[in-house]
Every structure is written in C-alpha cells, then in structure tokens.
A = this chain, B = another copy of it.
Amino acid sequence: MEYKKELQRLIEDFKTNYLPSVSVDLVIFGFHDGQLKVLLLRWKGTEEWCLPGGRIRNDENLDDSAYRSLRERTGLREIFLQQFYTFGDVLRYKHIDQHETLRKLGLPEEAVHEFANRDVSVGYYALVEFENVVPTPDFFTDECRWWDINQVPTLLFDHNDMISLALKTLRRQLSYQPIGYSLLPDKFTMPDLQQLYETILGQSLDRRNFQKRMLGYGILERLEERKFGGAHKAPYLYRFDKEKYEKVLAEESLFVG
C-alpha cells in the first residue's frame, strides 16, 4: 500500500533528520470580504480540524522551519511571520485521545507512538495576502481552507488557545508591526483599511477620526484612481508609502484604537 510505505519513510525521516520534542505551529491570518480569516487543516478521514505546523530539521534554524511550513501550506515566500508564544503544557492534547486519532488514520502502533510523543510547540503567526494563497494540505490531512475567525470550530490539541493568543498579540502589536501592509492588497480604500483594524480590534472606530489619524501619519499615498462598483460614491484608492510606514512602525507610534 502506497500510503503505508510513504508513512514508513516519513517516520524514518523524522527520526533521523528532525529534532525530537519540539515543533512549530502556524496561525496564518488573511483578510477577505471584511473578515479576518485563519487557515486550517482537516485530518485525513476525520472531521477534526487543526492549525498547520511542522517539525524542525537538525540543520535548520527554528525561524526557517516556520517559513518552510508556511511556504508548503500557502505557496508564499515573502511573508510577515512572527513567533508569539511557546506552548509547553504536558496536557496540550486535552480535546482528544491523540493515540486514538492517529490509529483511526490507519497508522501502525510504531507511528502512533512516534507522532503522539509530547512536543513543546513554538507558535508563529503569519499575515498573508488572502488572494495570493494556494491552500495546500499535507500528508496527514485531506483539506486546507480558510475559516472566518469568528466561526472556528473546536480544534485538535491546544490550537484554539493558540489562535486566541495570536489574535491578542496581533492587537498589541498593531502599533509597531506592518499589519495593514501585510494583510491588504497593494491598493485599497479607506473603508477597507478601517474594516481591517475594526476586525482585529473587535470594535468599531469612528470614521472621521480614523481617516484623520491615518492621513496624519503620512504613510498613505492617495492614488488618482477610484474604486468603482459599490452602491456609494466611488471611494479613492490608497497605497502605503512603505518607507514612511516603516519609519512610523520603528517609532512604535501607530495608535489606532
């Protein structure tokens, strides 16, 4: 059976070339239709969902292994990726009997024990442009797709906690990380930008104040184009002035809320 053979190969590969007891998990955020989204995987033959993740090669820096996993699941190379917390409780697998789940996948006992070992997992969050992602499942999963942040189901392991903490970190870091730059397309309207911040902060913002403050930073360049197609008057399109944006972030002075 092709599947079993490939699995055997994977186990050998893990034993030989990867660090034991440490792994990486990824909270990949995208923004689409005014909603913050997160990329999830569905385990083979089950209805169980979890975050993408991976292991660290013996000869690979921790950050590089996170970039590699992110590339494998999204197809993207140039991405905002940042470590936010390392999860190391003994009982990280509270929602399921992990051994049972792995057996259901048809894994032989040896593989069950290899993969159900206790891991300390380093959490990273990524900000990606939704449009550019090609969601790609891995060997253990059937499906990889976006979920609205407000509709995420009960996930395997401690992955719901990971998403909560990633989101909390994102909020804290709004003032000094290139959140807008990473999540929005190259050209966007002022309402797009406001909606992004509102979604992340989980609260609505005053339209006039928001616009005034954002323009006050001098980080936005107003284009000659407008966005047509909506019911209202066509709004202007903007683009970030990357240099000025990074200067403001370096001063940690981009306050929005």
Residues of chain A touching chain B, judged by Cβ–Cβ distance below 8 Å, are 19-22, 56, 58-63, 65, 83, 85-90, 118, 120, 122
Q: A85 vs B82: C-alpha distance in the bound complex, in angstroms?
A: 11
Q: A87 vs B83: C-alpha distance in the bound complex, in angstroms?
A: 10
Top 7 nearest A-B pairs by Cβ distance? A62-B88, A19-B21, A86-B86, A22-B120, A61-B89, A86-B122, A20-B20
Q: Name the B residues within 8 Å of A21 (CB-CB).
A: 19-22
Question: Is the beta-carbon distance between A56 and B120 smaller than 8 angstroms?
Answer: yes
Question: Is the beta-carbon distance between B56 and A88 smaller than 8 angstroms?
Answer: yes
Q: A29 vs B222: C-alpha distance in the bound complex, in angstroms?
A: 47
Q: A89 vs B22: C-alpha distance in the bound complex, in angstroms?
A: 13
Question: Is the beta-carbon distance between B83 and A85 smaller than 8 angstroms?
Answer: yes
Residue of B nearest to A171 (CB): B252
Stoichiometry, as copies per complex, reads 2
Q: Name the B residues within 8 Å of A19 (CB-CB).
A: 21, 118, 120
Shortest Cβ gap from A200 to chain B (Å)? 16
Residue among B61, B87, B88, B89 making CB contact with A88, cutoff 8 Å: B61
Using A56-B88, A62-B89, A86-B86 as known contacts, list a sample of 9 further A-B pairs with CB atoms less than 8 Å apart, ordered by residue number in A. Answer: A20-B20, A56-B120, A58-B118, A59-B90, A61-B88, A63-B89, A86-B122, A120-B120, A120-B122
Shortest Cβ gap from A186 to chain B (Å)? 30
Q: Name the B residues within 8 Å of A63 (CB-CB).
A: 88-89
Shortest Cβ gap from A67 to chain B (Å)? 12
Shortest Cβ gap from A177 to chain B (Å)? 12
Q: A120 vs B21: C-alpha distance in the bound complex, in angstroms?
A: 10
Residue among B61, B89, B120, B122 making CB contact with A90, cutoff 8 Å: B61
